[in-house]
Amino acid sequence: MDEESKTPVLMYWRYAWRNRIKARFFSPYRAIPTVAASVLQFLWKHKAQTPFTEMWITMAIVVAVYLTLFILESLWKFAVLTPPKNYDEQLEVIQNCMGQIGALEEAQREPQISPQEQRRRELVSPRIRELGEVGRHILRCIADHGEIRLLALHAEYNFGEATLNGFLQRAIPSSLRRDDADALYLELLSVIRGMPDPDSDKHWIISDCVEYFTKRGREELVADLAASAANRNVYAAIVKERLDHAEQTLSEDDPAFAEALLTAGNNATFEGNYQEAEQLLERSLAASERIHGERSSQVLFALSRVCIIKRLLGKFAEAESAIQKAVNGTRECFPDQGLYPWTLENLALLREAEGKTDDAERSYAEAVAEYEKICGFPSYETAEALYHQSGCLLRMGKTAPDEAAIRRAISVMHGVEQLSDYEKSDYLGTLASILEAAGRNSEATEMKSRADELFQRAEKQNENQE
């Protein structure tokens, strides 16, 4: 064994010797009483002319026994008990360091919430709880993507017209009289003007005041604030701030960095900034591949988002490449999870955009079959997939399979607890549109009537909950 290989071993045993568990039971000083007893015994029993040999032999035996036991105990504790003790101490130190590192990374990753933001959340939280389950779903979608058109909500997330109308009626305050509202906004306006330097956190208040007085025909009251409030998007500013924070403080191999890019890309998509969204989503995909690996769920989800933005830009070849990777990856790695049929839905939308209606119909049929296989039927996921499929077929003018799909969803909708009356109303409204397109006006009128009844019932339920 060469000198270099011996060095770590010697260093370890030197460290073990310094931190050894010392022998205590057979310590040398414990031999003193026995030796003293032997001397007293000699003085008491023997005469002065007796030789000292017997005494020295007795003392030597006692000391030798004690030394031997001391050495054995020391070796036992040094070789057997000391290494586990050292390991436990080092493990405790490592765990403490890891905990401190995790706390520092968490503090670095998440910006601190200001008192103003905390107060704002406390004020908004009770109002959000009053919106009902469906309303909270819509609000969460808007919160995830910033300002978004109703058409985008319907097309991308399949919220029906009745559902959206009901949400808007509940979300927009209607209890204030106009005079009271004017007084409140005027008071708020005086507070804003009293601020020495309104920062970015107050732009959402300024924008709201400008919008209110503009609608009331009193633009002159906010003429000086209109310029600063123009084109302000509060959520977009928050997303940009988080992305800037991630780029400045986080490593490109941090999962939070990839997530910030993905959120910013999704927001840009729904704002219609497709070129910006394309760059952000491609960066998010590249970061996810480095962090999680090519077959991870994060990468496969990012591929589907890249496919969506490429489809919206008309770059069908690049969208095809992304969606094929996503389909193959989810089929191979996540065949029993909802990510796979959702990817097939995106493939169907791409085929629809390309004008390949037959391929789009087959892809959606496969997606519905996978939902049914994974989630069962009847189930919320499968019923929603049928509803999405009917919307795709209706846009392509395929009324026969379209009607079959939506009728299948309607046939089980009353047995699916997760479906709200708003969603059931959307199902019936979609069927009414299909029947109307087919010229079956009397049936369409009946379906519209049933859809209105469900919508009114849902409204009453929300009123009772409030």
pLDDT in tens, 225-259: 665 555 445 567 778 888 888 888 888 888 889 99
Q: What is the mean pLDDT of residues 175-202?
A: 56
Of the CA atoms within 13 Å of residue 246, those in its CB half-sphere come to 21
Point out the domain boundary residue: 80, 103, 126: 103
Judge whether residue 40 has pLDDT over 80: no
pLDDT at 280: 92
As for how many domains the chain has, the answer is: 2
Judge whether residue 366 has pLDDT over 90: yes
pLDDT at 218: 72
Alpha-carbon span 306 to 266, nearest angstrom: 10
Confidence of residue 430 (pLDDT cuts 50, 70, 90): confident
**DSSP single-letter state for residue 64:** H
Q: What is the mean pLDDT of residues 160-177?
A: 48
Judge whether residue 24 has pLDDT over 80: no
- Residue 278 contacts residue 313 (beta carbons within 8 Å): yes
Range in 2-6, 71-75, 283-287, 299-303 the model is least confident about: 2-6
Judge whether residue 375 has pLDDT over 60: yes
Crossing angle of helices 339-354 and 357-375, rounded to 10°: 170
Is 67 among the domain residues? yes
Is 270 among the domain residues? no
Residues in the chain: 466
pLDDT at 399: 77
Q: Which residue has the higher pLDDT, 25 or 77?
A: 77
Is 320 among the domain residues? no
pLDDT at 146: 47
- Residue 153 contacts residue 164 (beta carbons within 8 Å): yes
Range with top average pLDDT, 117-131, 182-196, 273-287:
273-287
Point out the domain boundary residue: 232, 247, 277: 232
- Residue 393 contacts residue 402 (beta carbons within 8 Å): yes
pLDDT at 419: 85
Residues 9 and 97 in one domain: yes
Is 264 among the domain residues? no
Judge whether residue 199 has pLDDT over 50: no
Is 428 among the domain residues? no
User: pLDDT averaged over the chain?
Assistant: 75
Point out the domain boundary residue: 103, 137, 165: 103
Type of residue at 335: P
Is 263 among the domain residues? no
- To 10 degrees, the CA torsion angle through 261, 263, 266, 272? -80
User: For residue 67, how many other CB atoms are within 10 A of its CB?
Assistant: 13
pLDDT tens, position by position, 324-362: 999 999 999 998 988 999 999 999 999 999 999 899 999
Range in 16-20, 62-66, 205-209, 277-281 the model is least confident about: 205-209
Judge whether residue 6 has pLDDT over 70: no
Residues 178 and 95 in one domain: no
Q: What is the mean pLDDT of residues 377-405?
A: 86
Confidence of residue 396 (pLDDT cuts 50, 70, 90): confident
Instruction: Report percent pLDDT > 90 for the chain.
Output: 19
Judge whether residue 198 has pLDDT over 60: no
Residues 179 and 99 in one domain: no
pLDDT at 27: 64
pLDDT tens, position by position, 409-420: 999 888 888 888
Q: What is the mean pLDDT of residues 296-322?
A: 93
pLDDT at 82: 78
Is 183 among the domain residues? yes
- Domain residues for the domain of 22 are 3-103
Instruction: Report percent pLDDT > 70 for the chain.
Output: 62
Contacts of 152 (CB under 8 A, 6+ apart): 270
pLDDT at 318: 94
DSSP assignment of 3-39 equals HHHHHHHHHHHHHHHHT-----TT-GGGHHHHHHHHH
Is 84 among the domain residues? yes
